[in-house]
């Protein structure tokens, strides 16, 4: 994105905006904060808190989104966008503002904000959201996180009948939720059809209410489409699979409220240096 002179001073010149002057200092909307220069997702709104310092503060970043660089004076640690190295601000440890004991102090000018459920920001970066459920969300996220053009992946729960379910709630099989992965992607880099094809090839779409050793309604195969175009693409792919002999059990459902799973579920395999036990790639489209 083209930067104006004030944005360049902060993002490229490593400057700092005046305290309490930024548009996101007091923003409490749900959504994702992204890099103003390259559009890469940086922070989730549920990790934002009011530190009273005059700048947006976060106690956690999206995994692998932020790079830490010690300042030349040795007193502070700069934070930059891991994708394009745009200056964001500084990170501080040990202040005890939250249980995570970390404060990312970020310039509003370094970020744009994408409201929850929005396909585009109001700053010129275009995104879409896709939601797929195909068994344990660990394995589904593992594959989608590797796709060029996928900006972020989040494990969570969708399709149920209670608010803010926990993993334990969902595992009872009584809430109606399914383990799913929400993906933010750049459609000019990777198409929804490419992602949907991959979805059908990293899990067994013929299995009903299970995936490999994981059994229960929460492991059902389901696509939650965010617009009618996604619905049509997914339905077309199911028809193609059916024409080649597959008995596809995948449901197609309009997207509803997506609830983030607990922190330890996010990017589970990447964080723990493991590989999926119940998902593997099998080519189904020729």
> Quick one: what percent of the chain has pLDDT higher than 70?
97
Spatial distance between the Cα atoms of 141 and 121, rounded to a whole number of angstroms: 24
- The predicted pLDDT at position 117 comes to 61
pLDDT surpassing 60 at residue 110: yes
CATH topology of domain 11-115: 2.170.150
Spatial distance between the Cα atoms of 135 and 211, rounded to a whole number of angstroms: 5
When the candidates are 2.40.50.140, 3.30.1060.10, 3.30.230.10, 3.40.630.30, the CATH number that belongs to 128-272 is: 3.30.1060.10
- The predicted pLDDT at position 98 comes to 96
Q: Any idea which residues carry the catalytic annotation? A: 105, 136
Q: Please, which contacts does 272-277 make with residues 24 or more away whose CB atoms are closer than 8 Å? A: 275/142, 276/136, 276/138, 276/139, 276/142, 276/143, 277/139, 277/212, 277/213
- The predicted pLDDT at position 69 comes to 95
pLDDT surpassing 60 at residue 122: no
pLDDT greater at residue 14 or residue 41: 14
- The predicted pLDDT at position 127 comes to 78
Q: Domain-by-domain residue ranges, the chain?
A: 11-115, 128-272
> Quick one: what percent of the chain has pLDDT higher than 90?
74
The alpha carbon of residue 174 and the mean position of all alpha carbons in its chain are separated, in whole angstroms, by 26
Using pLDDT thresholds of 50, 70 and 90, give the confidence band for residue 114.
confident
- The predicted pLDDT at position 119 comes to 52
For the ranges 116-120, 183-187, 221-225, 271-275, which has the lowest average pLDDT? 116-120
- The predicted pLDDT at position 274 comes to 87
- The predicted pLDDT at position 124 comes to 56
Using pLDDT thresholds of 50, 70 and 90, give the confidence band for residue 138.
very high
What's the pTM value of the predicted model, to 2 decimals? 0.68
pLDDT average, residue stretch 246-256: 97
Spatial distance between the Cα atoms of 220 and 209, rounded to a whole number of angstroms: 4
Q: Helical H runs in 117-258?
A: 137-144, 167-171, 192-202, 228-243
For the chain, give the mean pLDDT. Answer: 92
User: How far, CA to CA in Å, does 213 sit from each of 90, 180, 221, 241, 272?
Assistant: 44, 17, 14, 24, 20
Using pLDDT thresholds of 50, 70 and 90, give the confidence band for residue 120.
very low
């Amino acid at each position: 994105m083209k930067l104006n002179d004030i944005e360049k001073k902060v993002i490229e010149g490593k400057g700092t905006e005046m305290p309490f002057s930024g548009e996101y200092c007091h923003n409490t909307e749900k959504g994702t904060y992204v890099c103003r220069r390259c559009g890469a997702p940086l922070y989730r709104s549920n990790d934002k808190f009011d530190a009273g310092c005059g700048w947006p503060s976060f106690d956690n970043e999206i995994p692998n989104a932020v790079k830490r660089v010690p300042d030349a004076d040795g007193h502070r640690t700069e934070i930059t966008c891991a994708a394009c190295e745009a200056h964001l601000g500084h990170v501080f440890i040990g202040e005890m503002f939250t249980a995570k004991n970390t404060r990312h102090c970020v310039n509003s000018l370094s970020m744009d904000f994408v409201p929850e459920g929005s396909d585009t920001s109001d700053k010129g970066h275009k995104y879409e959201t896709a939601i797929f459920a195909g068994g344990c969300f660990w394995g589904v996220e593992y594959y989608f996180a590797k796709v060029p053009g996928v900006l972020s992946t989040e494990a969570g729960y969708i399709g149920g009948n209670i608010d803010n379910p926990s993993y334990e709630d969902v595992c009872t099989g009584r809430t109606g939720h399914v383990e799913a992965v929400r993906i933010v992607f750049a459609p000019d880099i990777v198409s929804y059809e490419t992602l949907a094809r991959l979805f059908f090839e990293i899990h067994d779409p013929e299995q009903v209410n299970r995936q490999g050793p994981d059994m229960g309604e929460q492991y059902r195969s389901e696509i939650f489409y965010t617009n009618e175009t996604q619905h049509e693409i997914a339905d077309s792919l199911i028809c193609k699979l059916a024409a080649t002999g597959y008995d596809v059990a995948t449901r197609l459902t309009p997207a509803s409220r997506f609830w983030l799973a607990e922190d330890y579920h996010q990017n589970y395999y990447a964080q723990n240096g493991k590989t999926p036990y119940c998902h593997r790639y099998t080519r189904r489209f020729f």
